[in-house]
Amino acid sequence: MQGIVFLGDKKLEIQGFDDPSPGPDDVIIEIKASGMCGSDLKFYRANNGPSSLGLGGDDKPVIAGHEPCGTIVEIGSNVPKKTFQLDTRVMQHHYEGCGTCLHCSTGWQQLCIDGVKAVFGVTGHGAHAKYMKCPASTLVHLRDEISFVAGAAISCGTGTAWGALERLDLKASQTIAIFGMGPVGLSAVMLANKMGSRVIAIDINKQRLERSVEFGADILINPNESNDLLEEIKDLTNGTGVDASLEASSSPEARSLAVKSVKTWGKACFVGEGGDITLDVSNDLLRRQVTLIGSWTFSKHGQAQCADFIVDKKLNVDNLFTHTWSLNQAEEAYKIFDKQSDGKAVIIP
């Protein structure tokens, strides 16, 4: 089979690989949709070539793609037949831990006390290929009401938004400011809207900001068109600030404003990766009793809960996607995705 491999320096190759075979505890998924995620870009852009990517541990090529969704086509001998059968529709939680520690046993394999064995699509072969091998313990059933494309989104970006909103314990009566209208931010808008909250969407990209309306944003703010973003948010909330904020852009300015824009006793959550931030700890946090939360993706159980919520609320996650690509279009796909100006993209192997 063929699979996409990131080489760094904004280069990739479609390389040949043997079709995978399952070990006793594994399954083989025939990939029906493999989402393209913003976190892919740090490997795609890495400027020191393959050796800088940290992929595979021994510089062997690793198939990219950590938003897998498909059907089971082979099952290892130890996999309980009552749990998974051939043709079962599945998503994958793209981390493998020891499986037995405190965190793994509660679905948080990425926090494994013994260290993560594999991050699929990063240190282990991922979903930008026709087939993917993974432990059965990393699978989440995909309900029939959800498309494979939507399942790919839930497997990372939309699931990450869900995890953050759960950490914020968002209530229907509350107002939330969401910074960054990429796929994670738009997912957060969609989910928060259906939770009954009032949503303020914030982005400097006019096209992305305008798209947030169809996902349920109540108020749009472009910081480039605002004289004072913080004051504007306070004016919209009777001078108190928002109940909660979610920062999904990784911008230092947005992170700072996400903290400063919440009211006394408010909660701010960061999901954007990397970078630094400087805060006045006393005035921005302590003396306003502000809770600052870091949220890294989601648990395996949270992934399933997110999917259930989407079905129950009849959310159209497919609308997040603006581009669909075949495997052979990977080079063009990532060149466009690298601009980060449109919606979410998916590869259909």
Cα-based distances in Å from 91 to 37, 132, 151, 308: 15, 12, 6, 13
Instruction: Kindly report the CATH number assigned to the domain that includes residue 244.
Output: 3.40.50.720
**Quick one: 200 and 102 in the same domain?**
no
pLDDT of residue 70: 98
Among 192, 235, 232, 239, CA closest to 216: 192
The per-residue b/e assignment along 116-131, b for 16 or more CB within 10 angstroms, e otherwise, is bebbbbbbbbbbbbbb
pLDDT of residue 53: 45
**Quick one: 84 and 113 in the same domain?**
yes
**Quick one: 213 and 308 in the same domain?**
no
Question: SS3 for 88?
Answer: coil
**Quick one: 260 and 320 in the same domain?**
no
pLDDT of residue 55: 47
**Quick one: 138 and 233 in the same domain?**
no
**Quick one: 8 and 152 in the same domain?**
yes
pLDDT of residue 52: 41
CB 51 within 8 A of CB 169: no
Print the domain residue range for 239: 161-294
pLDDT of residue 327: 96
* Token representation of residue 288: 């306003």
**Quick one: 223 and 123 in the same domain?**
no
Report phi then psi at 289, rounded to 5: 55, 40
Report phi then psi at 194, rounded to 5: -75, -15
CB 62 within 8 A of CB 123: yes
pLDDT of residue 262: 98
**Quick one: 17 and 134 in the same domain?**
yes
**Quick one: 143 and 239 in the same domain?**
no
**Quick one: 68 and 149 in the same domain?**
yes
User: How many CB atoms are closer than 10 A to CB 134?
Assistant: 26
**Quick one: 151 and 7 in the same domain?**
yes
How many structural domains are present in the chain?
2
Cα-based distances in Å from 198 to 134, 140, 230: 40, 31, 17
Q: Which of 294, 311, 336 is the last residue of a domain?
A: 294
**Quick one: 283 and 324 in the same domain?**
no
Beta strands in 203-315 (DSSP E): 219-221, 242-247, 262-270, 291-294
Instruction: Kindly report the CATH number assigned to the domain that includes residue 122.
Output: 3.90.180.10
pLDDT in tens, the chain (349 residues): 999 999 989 999 999 999 999 999 999 999 999 999 999 998 899 886 544 444 444 568 999 999 999 999 999 999 998 899 999 999 999 999 999 999 999 999 999 999 999 999 999 999 999 999 999 999 999 999 999 999 999 999 999 999 999 999 999 999 999 999 999 999 999 999 999 999 999 999 999 999 999 999 999 999 999 999 999 999 999 999 999 999 999 999 999 999 999 999 999 999 998 889 999 999 999 999 999 999 999 999 999 999 999 999 999 999 999 999 999 999 999 999 998 888 899 999 9
